[in-house]
Structures are given as structure tokens and as C-alpha cells.
């Protein structure tokens, strides 16, 4: 797909040195940014015009720089010893993010004391459970804003937010803009995909 000049040599060497044999474990907000770059690359492949190769190179460079800037989230695969209860917690949150998730209920699901569970989750993932829940909800909200015509109020409700103002504040903190503005800026993406 790319020739040898797609990525500057120094970036490529740094990238290969830190990523080979490693695993990138991103918190949800950074994962969202990573996925947006991949989505942009996929869209560019579908456009496939005379500018596509140049844009794909640009996105590839962005992806590599993103990984290099987030190298603190790269761990050796042999060092990954994540307890199964972390997977159970993240799965429960993914399946129930639209509900009011209580720590007490989560701790019962994994048979752990809620204080211990909260402390270990943050220690092992680098993010608190409440921040993780918010990130999962915002990730779904982004998807719904891009792919549906649901109102912001409907999206907030579907994503587990009972208060529109709180939803907008959390959305702006994580994404950098308000939901309606995000939709307007990404409306072309939605229309191009239809």
C-alpha cells in the first residue's frame, strides 16, 4: 500500500523499537482517539481518489506519533497478568452502560469488596471505575451522534445519562466539544458513508 517514504525513517525506527513484542493498553478516552485515526484511514481507502495515498500516509504518521506519545501505555506481552475480574468488570460495564451502574452491584458481580475492587481496577488499568463508565458511555454517544439522527436528549438517555447538562459537560471534557457541535462537524462523515 505504501512505498518506503510513507513514514520518516526516525519515526519508523522509534515505533518498531517500542512496539515489537509489546501490547498497547489504552484508557477509553485515548482508545477513542486511536479509533478515530483508524476510521479516517478506512474512509480514505474507500474514497480512493488521487489524494488518497497522500492522506493515508498522513494518517499513518498520525497513528505512529499517537502511539509514540502514549508509550507509557505500552507493556511487554509477557508482563500482562490482568486478573479475570477486570475483564468481568469491563464486560459488565459494556453490557450495562445505559443503566445506573452501582459499585455495590459491580462488586457483587465479581465477588469482591467494592473498595478493594475500585482500588485494584485503578491500579491495573490506570483509570477509575467511574471514569471508565463515563468513557464507555461517551464512546457510545460519539457513535450514535455520527451514525444516527437521534436527538442529543435521546442519546444521553440511551448512554446512561439522566441529565443533559451533565452529559454535555462530560462529553466536552472527554471529546473537547459539545455534542451538537461534534455532530455538525462530523455530519459529512455520516452522509459520505450512506
* Segment 2-32, tens digit of pLDDT: 444 566 676 666 676 666 666 677 777 788 8
pTM (whole model) above 0.75: no
Count: domains in the chain = 2
Decide which of 79, 109, 131 is a domain's last residue. Answer: 79
Please give the grid coordinates belonging to residue 43: 474512509
In a domain, 191, yes or no: no
Decide which of 79, 97, 126 is a domain's last residue. Answer: 79
State residue 6's pLDDT score.
Answer: 61
State residue 34's pLDDT score.
Answer: 85
For residues 132 and 163, state if they share a domain.
Answer: yes
For residues 170 and 135, state if they share a domain.
Answer: yes
For residues 51 and 98, state if they share a domain.
Answer: no
CA dihedral 32, 38, 41, 45 (to 10 degrees): -120
Average pLDDT over residues 73-83: 66
For residues 88 and 181, state if they share a domain.
Answer: yes
Residues 6+ apart with CB under 8 A from 73: 24, 25, 26, 27, 30, 126
For residue 36, which of 50, 21, 26 has the smallest C-alpha distance? 26
Percent of the chain with pLDDT over 90: 41
For residues 52 and 142, state if they share a domain.
Answer: no
For residues 69 and 123, state if they share a domain.
Answer: no
Average pLDDT over residues 109-127: 90
The residue range of the domain holding 140 is: 84-185
Neighbours of 105 (CB within 10 A): 13
Decide which of 12, 45, 79 is a domain's last residue. Answer: 79
Helix (H) or strand (E) holding 73: none
In a domain, 194, yes or no: no
Average pLDDT over residues 126-143: 91
Amino acid at each position: 500500500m505504501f512505498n518506503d517514504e510513507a513514514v520518516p525513517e526516525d519515526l519508523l525506527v522509534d515505533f518498531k523499537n517500542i512496539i515489537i513484542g509489546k501490547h498497547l493498553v489504552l484508557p477509553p478516552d485515548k482508545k477513542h482517539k486511536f479509533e478515530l485515526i483508524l476510521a479516517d484511514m478506512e474512509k480514505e481507502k474507500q474514497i480512493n481518489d488521487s489524494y488518497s495515498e497522500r492522506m493515508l500516509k498522513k494518517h499513518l504518521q498520525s497513528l505512529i506519533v499517537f502511539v509514540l506519545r502514549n508509550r507509557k501505555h505500552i507493556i511487554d506481552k509477557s508482563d500482562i497478568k490482568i486478573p479475570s475480574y477486570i475483564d468481568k468488570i469491563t464486560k459488565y460495564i459494556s453490557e450495562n452502560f445505559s443503566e445506573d451502574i452501582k459499585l455495590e452491584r459491580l462488586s457483587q458481580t465479581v465477588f469482591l469488596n467494592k473498595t478493594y475492587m475500585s482500588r485494584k481496577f485503578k491500579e491495573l488499568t490506570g483509570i477509575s471505575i467511574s471514569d471508565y463508565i463515563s468513557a464507555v458511555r461517551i464512546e457510545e454517544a460519539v457513535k450514535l451522534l455520527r451514525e444516527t439522527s437521534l436527538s442529543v436528549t435521546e442519546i444521553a438517555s440511551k448512554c446512561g445519562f439522566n441529565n443533559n447538562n451533565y452529559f454535555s459537560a462530560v462529553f466536552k471534557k472527554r471529546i473537547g466539544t459539545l455534542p451538537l457541535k461534534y455532530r455538525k462537524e462530523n455530519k459529512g462523515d455520516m452522509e459520505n458513508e450512506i
